[in-house]
Amino acid sequence: MNLIKQMPPQRRGGVTFGIGALGGLAFFALSLPLPWVLGSLTASLLCTQTTSFQPRFPAPWRSYAMVAIGTMLGTSFTPEVVRQAGDWTISLIVMSLLSLAFCFIAYQIFYRFGKMDRVTALFAAIPGGLSVVSVLAENYRAEVSRVALCHTARLVVLLIAAPIIIQAISGINLADASLASFTHAEAIDPVNHGILALVAIVSGWLAWRLNFPSAMLLIPLLSSGLLHATDLLTVHVPPLLSSAAQIVIGAGVGARFANYSLPQILKDGWLAAVIGVLLTFGSFIAALLFAPIIGLDNTPLFLSYLPGGAPELGVVALALSIDPAMVAAHHVLRVFLIVAMLPLIASWLGKQTQRG
């Protein structure tokens, strides 16, 4: 037991990655959807609740995965996609309004039924952006542990429900989609792949220096997107690296439950899971309603409207080849909205609480 607790961070991270990889391989072998995300998440989560080993990645590892995912999302911004980007305007507005509505609904449920104070309920209800929300929650004296648990439980529901609904509305064979990334992988081009790797490294360093919320995702995305949008680069991230990034993201989500006992998970997690189900179906209905009006396919709209984390849902879009550029644009805008509006709303609620 003591040896496990005293395990060096890098070794613990390596064991956590191995557990996630085994879960991913099991899901892959069983032809289950999103094997590297959901398989690693399941294995890591089960490990937190059934063994004495508590999975955890060193802090930089998630940053490296974010850089890889941002770079991957950027490769989807081809010149043709950029020419079509104007078609997303109405959808981006709809997503923004939906996010506000989802936040209000979740806030009311957490505040009235979850017995949270107003500020904690607000931060628990924010649709995505956990890294941003966690930092701000401490500044506004919210109960950070409850906020993180609610976000994580809701995200798990979204990641499980999304593939089921996508297969139902699109007819995409998710097992085949996951396999396609390996069977149809492009040949390695030493020069162009080397340039892409260099861009990712420089972007990650710049993001580390700037140190603003979600920089590790956004700056590589913008850098890679600019190069691919101008057709200077056309290569993609190799599938093995893509799978490794997905394992870090999935196992990282599952590892968050190491901080909670089963009674704690049941206390807030069940309510967050119910909210996750409600918002998933809200996103689904919104996609079906607005798809014919906007003139876009309902599957990427559904992924774009889901109130989850940009890296996690970006990975879903990448893994299933469902218009990653469009999905990324919607979730990046949501992150900017959260950064801009959350401090204002939290300050106002804090004043209301003091007056009350």
More confident call, 171 vs 158: 158
**Mean pLDDT, to the nearest integer, of 243-260?**
89
pLDDT attached to residue 107:
94
Q: Per-residue pLDDT for 356 more than 70?
A: no
105 near 277, Cβ under 8 Å?
no
Residue 57 is which amino acid?
F
More confident call, 165 vs 172: 165
pLDDT tens-digit map of 309-325? 778 888 888 888 889 99
Task: Calculate Rg over the CA atoms of the chain.
Answer: 20
**Mean pLDDT, to the nearest integer, of 326-350?**
83
Q: Per-residue pLDDT for 44 more than 90?
A: yes
Q: Mean pLDDT score of the chain, rounded to an integer?
A: 87
Report percent pLDDT > 70 for the chain.
92
Going from the C-alpha of 117 to that of each of 113, 150, 335, 344, the distances in angstroms are 11, 14, 24, 17
Q: How confident is the model at residue 215 (pLDDT cuts 50, 70, 90)?
A: confident
Residue 240 is which amino acid?
L
Q: Per-residue pLDDT for 264 more than 60?
A: yes
Instruction: Give dist(CA 342, CA 336) in Å, integer.
Output: 10
**Mean pLDDT, to the nearest integer, of 240-252?**
90
pLDDT attached to residue 181:
63
Instruction: Read off the tokens for 149.
Output: 């648990």
Instruction: Give dist(CA 10, CA 79) in Å, integer.
Output: 40
248 near 57, Cβ under 8 Å?
yes
Torsion sign, CA atoms 105, 111, 116, 118: positive
Instruction: Give dist(CA 169, CA 130) in Å, integer.
Output: 29
Full-model pTM: 0.84
Q: How confident is the model at residue 303 (pLDDT cuts 50, 70, 90)?
A: very high
Which residues lie closer than 8 Å to 211 by C-beta, 6 or more apart? none
pLDDT tens-digit map of 177-197? 666 666 666 788 999 999 999
Q: Per-residue pLDDT for 93 more than 60?
A: yes
Going from the C-alpha of 213 to that of each of 35, 209, 304, 313, 332, the distances in angstroms are 28, 12, 20, 17, 11
300 near 287, Cβ under 8 Å?
no
Residue found by looking up tokens 């200077």 in the block:
232
Instruction: Give dist(CA 352, CA 356) in Å, integer.
Output: 6
Q: Helices 59-74 and 239-255 meet at what angle, rounded to 10? A: 130
Longest C-alpha distance within the chain, in Å? 64
Which residue, among 38, 43, 266, 242, has the nearest Cα to 156 in the 3D structure?
Answer: 38
More confident call, 346 vs 15: 15
pLDDT attached to residue 354:
61
Q: Per-residue pLDDT for 336 more than 90?
A: no
Q: How confident is the model at residue 52 (pLDDT cuts 50, 70, 90)?
A: confident
Instruction: Give dist(CA 54, CA 307) in Å, integer.
Output: 28
Using a 10 angstrom Cβ sphere, with 0-12 exposed, 13-18 middle and 19 or more buried, the burial of residue 54 is middle
Using a 10 angstrom Cβ sphere, with 0-12 exposed, 13-18 middle and 19 or more buried, the burial of residue 308 is buried
Q: Per-residue pLDDT for 289 more than 70?
A: yes
Using a 10 angstrom Cβ sphere, with 0-12 exposed, 13-18 middle and 19 or more buried, the burial of residue 156 is buried
Instruction: Give dist(CA 173, CA 166) in Å, integer.
Output: 9
**Mean pLDDT, to the nearest integer, of 136-144?**
80
